Amino acid sequence: MSQPLKAKLVGMLEVVYPELDCDFLAEQLLGTMELAPNREPPPAHQNNWDESDIILITYADTVQREGEKPLQTLHRFLTDCLAETVSAVHILPFFPYSSDDGFSVMDYLAVNESHGSWSDVEKIAGDFKLMADLVINHMSARSRWFENFRKRVDPGKDYFFEGNPKDDLSAVVRPRTSPLLTPVQTEDGERYVWCTFSEDQVDLNFANPRVLIEFAGIIKQYLDHGVVMFRLDAVAFLWKEPGTPCIHLQQTHELIKILRLLIEHHTPEAVVITETNVPNRENLTYFGNANEAHLIYNFSLPPLLINTLVTGNCRHLKTWLMSMPPAQMGTTYLNFIASHDGIGMRPTDGLLEEDEKQRLINTMESFGGKVSYRRTADGRDQPYEINIALWDALKGTAEGGADHCQLQRFLCAHTIMLALEGIPAFYIHSLLGTENDYARVENTGRLRSINRGQWQLDKLEEELENPLCHHSKVYHELKRLIAIRRGQPAFHPNATQFTLHLGLQLFGFWRQSMRRDQSVFCIHNISNEVQQVALSDINLIGTDHWVDLISGMAIDDLAGSITLKPYQSVWLSNQTGGRGSGV
């Protein structure tokens, strides 16, 4: 018999706040969330997703139309163009903000007036699963809470984490080169606030339980407005203790469990996603025992996949894939190749050698990319991420430079992502094949702006209707591949996956549906040369009828071979899933 909600919550709170009255704190949290203390939990290990789930990542104002609020324009674009393509939409922070394109939130409970209103958000949530950011680690230095911190009044007086320059902070893991502590003048003198990311993004103090209660209220409002997917931004840095790395601490993991417990008891179909741009082994810990994140970002996939395609060698990608544990039921991976941020380099730690990392960086720089740095404990600056549009990142190879295979290479990357265990997420600029935006970088002074451009809807529609334009070619072919994927039970996010051994120029894996009624062999030529695949090497069952889902080509001679052009992919299926080839 499951433990009552309140008792379970108290047990978690006691780990984080051992000196507090956790029974009373649990009552406050349950009251804020409007949950009965004995509310029944959702079914254990429940998959709130299937093979039809595809996520679109976008800013509220990426697509614009004159005289219309961007959230309304976004809804129009989604319903007119992507209703049969994506099931969920991650709208990056749509709140009032002071910097970092939304991730320096001034008011968690308001919609940026320039974007639209809560009514506009709810309309999108009515047609798509809605993911929103819970920017939980830090808040804007221009927020009302921080103004109250300066004035030494509530709410806000004790909401931000303070540091002491005399403390030993040498072990703190940093994602930036900016100072960790920022001095601020308050009504009772100078204080030093902790700033993991920038002086405008001041870290919150979850050692104060009132901050946790505030976030329970924020979560409740998001749920009421239709949010069902919660992305916990920069959550790895949540709990701080001087003298430690201040990342991945036990209290952080326990707080994630607490938030998940509250969210899923309120809305059983809701899911929690942790954003932890860290080395692969550290990232995997955020599944917990299927009681922390429902989804974790597959942060090692983007750099490894891009490295594979520009080198023509899949050794590291294959080794990584073989090392990845199957996600427990009720959890899965969120697969992506590009996002609003750059290509993270920390997730390659232990996966690429230093000279290989540098070669990747050099190649991306030759294709117009930029590099952002972080400061290590010994004071050195190391590459943190590569800032580049994915379209440009795949314009050529490390050895030969730009070539004529950019489109094929770009599509190959997404064909691989679509077939992997997990839920695929498409950054809108990848779905549209948007190029590096140098003008935006110059205008903002921020390297990440290179991949945060904006489209006027009329211009975008014109480009997508032009069959000779690469934007149109990318958009329509990706939509076609997505449609095929959504009809295959072997591509359920939790379906079985095994890595195939086909050499270094062919990257392959096998997927089998959970009912074992469909198998798909996913084979990809990741090189710029023609490759032969001996069908005997992949052991197709002779009594089944096999077809390539992508091209519709039937496989008649199982003793023969197939020829793959540079960057061509095949999804060989026995079609017993009962949903056809999708072509």
Q: Would you please indicate which residues are annotated as catalytic (active-site) residues?
A: 233
Reported in sequence order, the residue ranges of 342-490 that DSSP labels E, i.e. its strands, are 343-344, 370-375, 381-387, 396-397, 401-402, 423-427, 455-456
460 is in an annotated binding site: no
For residue 371, how far is the Cα from the chain centroid?
20
Q: Which amino acid is at 533?
A: V
Q: How far apart are the first and last CA of the chain?
A: 48
Q: Which residue has the tokens 């006027």?
A: 456
Judged by DSSP in three states, 164 sits in coil
DSSP state letter for 105: B
56 is in an annotated binding site: no
Residue 402 backbone dihedrals phi, psi, to 5 degrees:
-60, 145
Is residue 238 a contact partner of residue 255, using CB atoms and an 8 Å limit? yes
Q: Cα angle at 316 between 314 and 320, to 5 degrees?
A: 115
Q: Which residue has the tokens 């094949």?
A: 433
Instruction: Dihedral sign for Cα 505, 525, 431, 521, please.
Output: negative
502 is in an annotated binding site: no
446 is in an annotated binding site: no
> Which structure tokens are listed for 217?
């209220």
- The secondary structure of 226-278 as a DSSP string is TEEEEEETTGGG-S--TTS--SS-HHHHHHHHHHHHHHHHH-TT-EEEE---S
Q: What radius of gyration, in Å, describes the C-alpha atoms of the chain? A: 24
138 is in an annotated binding site: yes
Q: Cα angle at 58 between 57 and 61, to 5 degrees?
A: 170
340 is in an annotated binding site: yes
Judged by DSSP in three states, 376 sits in coil
CA proximity to 162, closest of 125, 197, 129, 205:
205
Is residue 344 a contact partner of residue 275, using CB atoms and an 8 Å limit? no
Q: Cα angle at 372 between 336 and 382, to 5 degrees?
A: 105
SS (H, E, C) 427-443: EHHHHCCCCCCHHHHHH
Q: Which amino acid is at 546?
A: W
> Which structure tokens are listed for 456?
């006027």
How far apart are the C-alpha atoms of 421 and 432, rounded to whole Å?
Answer: 24
How far apart are the C-alpha atoms of 441 and 171, rounded to whole Å?
Answer: 33
Is residue 141 a contact partner of residue 237, using CB atoms and an 8 Å limit? no
Cα distances (Å, whole numbers) of residue 429 to 57, 73, 119, 404, 475 = 9, 16, 26, 21, 10
How far apart are the C-alpha atoms of 520 and 546, rounded to whole Å?
Answer: 9
Reported in sequence order, the residue ranges of 457-575 that DSSP labels E, i.e. its strands, are 496-500, 506-512, 519-525, 531-534, 546-548, 554-555, 561-564, 569-573
**Annotated binding-site residue numbers for substrate:** 100, 138, 231-233, 340-341, 448
**Annotated binding-site residue numbers:** 100, 138, 231-233, 340-341, 448
